[in-house]
Amino acid sequence: MQHVSFIRMDEGTAEDYAFLNAREDEFVLALPDRLLAALTSLEGSLAGYQINRLEHSLQSATRAEADRADIELIVGALIHDLGDDLAPLNHSQLAATIIRPYVRAEVAWIIEHHGVFQMYHYGDAMGIDKNARDIYRDHAWFDSCEQFCGDWDQSGL
Ligand SMILES: [Fe+2]
Ligand SMILES: [Fe+2]
């Protein structure tokens, strides 16, 4: 079988969907390759910082590793800005959506909220509320996200 027999989802057979499931399994297994390609493409992303977005991602992950963070946090640091190109206004949420199925809930939460926590470090200079993160002050993972941004994300730019 080269492709399914249908052109409407509701006309597909069990054989068609078994065929598609097998293709999907292969496709999911190749996700790391696609993520690395997307990460590499950050080299040409948003300009103006002293290093490019790929270098920033590598530095963030390297700092996490140096601090003996676990592998989920290290990978989180590596891909946390992956959404910069396609979701510049909500890049944190895009990266969190990508990583959520593969990491514990805390790591996905940190990635999802790193954007608002980052504002603490530049809000004053930009004239925006640096304390916007405070709506999460009582959240169980506030400190984790604060540490992620303070130690690994907000420096080395
Ligand atoms: Fe970010
Ligand atoms: Fe970042």
Residue 84: predicted pLDDT: 92
Q: Is the pLDDT of residue 157 over 90?
A: no
Find the angle CA(84)-CA(107)-CA(79) to the nearest 5 degrees: 30
The per-residue DSSP string of 31-45 comes to HHHHHHHHHHHGGGS
Rounded Cα distance between 117 and 131, Å, is 8
CA 73 / ligand 2 centre spacing (Å): 13
User: 10 Å Cβ neighbour count for 89?
Assistant: 7
CA 29 / ligand 2 centre spacing (Å): 26
Q: Which domains does the chain have, with CATH numbers?
A: 10-153 (1.10.3210.10)
Q: Is the pLDDT of residue 73 over 90?
A: yes
Rounded Cα distance between 19 and 28, Å, is 15
Average confidence (pLDDT) over 53-82: 97
Average confidence (pLDDT) over 75-104: 97
Residue 93: predicted pLDDT: 98
CA 145 / ligand 1 centre spacing (Å): 12
CA 30 / ligand 2 centre spacing (Å): 25
